[in-house]
């Protein structure tokens, strides 16, 4: 290996996205090579011993490290402004590895009530078995976070903006609460990505990613990552190399190429989403639109301050509850009816009966998931086609 392109402090995000972590081999290739190899060989017994003991840097086994995976890790770490990144087999594996690395029996998590469904299941069904308990609070209510802290609280966990209601929490304030109580703050930055939000610069200790979403951006592969300081990431790395939720080199390569265009895609996604949100807000069949990019959003000022854009996930409520919402979804011909997001293809779903279907009626009430709510993750098709596809069902309601 030669010419590691170690990130330069002065490089802008767009440059880091294209150049950071590129490790050129003796072939002097221009692109990022894939290393589909389980293990690595050595020139001598002494070299093998030095690599195994860690005395000399280098690869041993792809469950531990792999050059293709390392390129993705270094690039994402540079873009998030973290010291180190550990890639994982999925976004859920990133959250699990973080919890196993940092927490032990008796520790407590304080988490936002508006989290990805599987994250809640992981906390409530599986971490609870290990004696790690989770308390949930309203995402934007800083007093509620403060009130939920106990001497056993070790981790604060949030997604901002939330899905699908686009609520926002002040990351810098939340980081202050965490620090005061000696706890870590982890932000799941899936919806905005480092192109639009830098939680570490705002004081977060850890950034979680489902690379499956916008980092890939084309719905091709499952993967995840944790970014943060060397100290904590060394523990996360220990979990991944021992327990095995490592990222495959093939998927790492896809994500590395995805990062190269991330800033352009996020800008285009956001532009489409803003136009759609404004149009929906003016449509007579629409009761309410949830998008932090709208000036009517109650936290628009905070979102504008801490984000460099507003992303492309938005919710809106139609008049007429489930029947009306389903009719709008069923009238589409272009949009994909699916719970996924972060793709160039626009997706549409009815949260109450899909992504949030397992919540009780009370839980849905608290979370604001009504029967009339529709979520759209706006893709990169032509805006007029996306709008026309939604207008078909919406116009029929008035
Ligand atoms: C999808 C998602 C996850 C889980 O990621 P996977 O790659 O599906 O395991 C975690 N958090 C958020 C916000 C997500 O959207």
CATH of the domain at 61: 3.40.640.10
SS3 38: coil
> What pLDDT, in 10s, does the model give residues 337-346?
998 899 999 9
Q: For 24-33, what is the mean pLDDT?
A: 89
pLDDT at 20 over 80: yes
Same-domain status, 97 and 218:
yes
| Residue 277, pLDDT score | 98
SS3 41: coil
Q: 176 C-alpha vs ligand 1 centroid, how far in Å?
A: 26
> What pLDDT, in 10s, does the model give residues 244-273?
999 999 999 999 999 999 999 999 999 999
What global pTM score does this model have?
0.95
Compute, in degrees rounded to 10, the torsion defined by CA atoms 302, 305, 307, 312: 60
Which residue(s) pair with 209 in the sheet? 225
Same-domain status, 338 and 358:
yes
Nearest CA to ligand 1 atom 11: 116
Same-domain status, 250 and 367:
no
| Share of residues in the chain with pLDDT > 70 (%) | 98
Sign of CA dihedral 366, 371, 377, 378: negative
Q: Is residue 2 part of a domain?
A: no
Q: Among the atoms of ligand 1, which is closest to the Cα of residue 115?
A: 13
> What pLDDT, in 10s, does the model give residues 113-167?
999 989 999 999 999 999 999 999 999 999 999 999 999 999 999 999 999 999 9
Q: For 59-71, what is the mean pLDDT?
A: 96
Q: Is residue 332 part of a domain?
A: yes
- How crowded is the C-beta side of 359, counted as CA atoms within 13 Å? 24
Same-domain status, 339 and 246:
no
| Share of residues in the chain with pLDDT > 90 (%) | 90
247: domain range?
8-259
Closest C-alpha to 193, from 211, 174, 173, 169: 211
Ligand 1: does its nearest atom lie under 6 Å from the Cβ of 212? yes
Provide the domain count of the chain: 2
* Bridge pairing between strands 2-4 and 23-24: antiparallel
Out of 211, 238, 259, a domain closes at 259
Out of 211, 239, 259, a domain closes at 259
Same-domain status, 172 and 132:
yes
| Residue 140, pLDDT score | 97
Q: For 370-382, what is the mean pLDDT?
A: 97
Out of 259, 274, 289, a domain closes at 259
């Amino acid at each position: 290996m030669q010419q590691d392109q170690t990130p330069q402090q002065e490089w802008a995000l767009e440059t880091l996205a294209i150049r950071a972590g590129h490790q050129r081999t003796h072939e002097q290739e221009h692109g990022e090579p894939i290393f589909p190899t389980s293990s690595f060989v050595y020139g001598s017994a002494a070299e093998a011993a030095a690599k195994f003991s860690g005395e000399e840097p280098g690869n041993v086994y792809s469950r531990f490290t792999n050059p293709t995976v390392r390129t993705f890790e270094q690039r994402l770490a540079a873009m998030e402004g973290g010291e180190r990144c550990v890639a994982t087999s999925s976004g859920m594996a990133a959250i699990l590895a973080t919890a196993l690395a940092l927490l032990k029996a008796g520790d407590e998590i304080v988490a936002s009530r508006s989290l990805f469904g599987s994250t809640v299941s992981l906390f409530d069904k599986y971490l609870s078995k290990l004696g790690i308990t989770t308390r949930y609070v309203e995402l934007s209510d800083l007093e509620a976070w403060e009130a939920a802290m106990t001497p056993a609280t070790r981790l604060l966990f949030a997604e901002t903006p939330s899905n699908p209601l686009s609520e926002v929490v002040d990351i810098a304030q939340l980081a202050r609460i965490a620090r005061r109580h000696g706890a870590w703050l982890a932000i799941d930055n899936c919806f905005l990505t480092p192109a639009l939000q830098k939680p570490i610069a705002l004081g977060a200790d850890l950034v979680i990613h489902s690379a499956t979403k916008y980092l890939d951006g084309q719905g091709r592969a499952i993967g995840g990552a944790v970014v943060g300081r060397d100290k904590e990431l060394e523990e996360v790395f220990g979990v991944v190399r021992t327990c095995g939720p490592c990222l495959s080199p093939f998927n790492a390569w896809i994500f590395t190429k995805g990062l190269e265009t991330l800033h352009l895609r996020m800008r285009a996604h956001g532009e489409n989403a803003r136009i759609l949100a404004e149009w929906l807000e003016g449509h007579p069949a629409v009761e309410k639109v949830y998008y932090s990019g709208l000036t009517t959003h109650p936290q628009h000022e905070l979102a504008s301050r801490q984000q460099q854009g507003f992303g492309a996930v938005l919710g809106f409520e139609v008049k007429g509850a489930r029947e009306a919402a389903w009719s709008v979804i069923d009238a589409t011909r272009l949009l994909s009816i699916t719970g996924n997001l972060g793709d160039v293809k626009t997706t549409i779903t009815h949260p109450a009966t899909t992504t949030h279907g397992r919540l009780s009626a009370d839980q849905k009430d608290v979370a604001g998931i009504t029967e009339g709510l529709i979520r759209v993750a706006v893709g990169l098709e032509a805006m007029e086609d996306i709008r026309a596809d939604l207008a078909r069902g919406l116009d029929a309601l008035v």
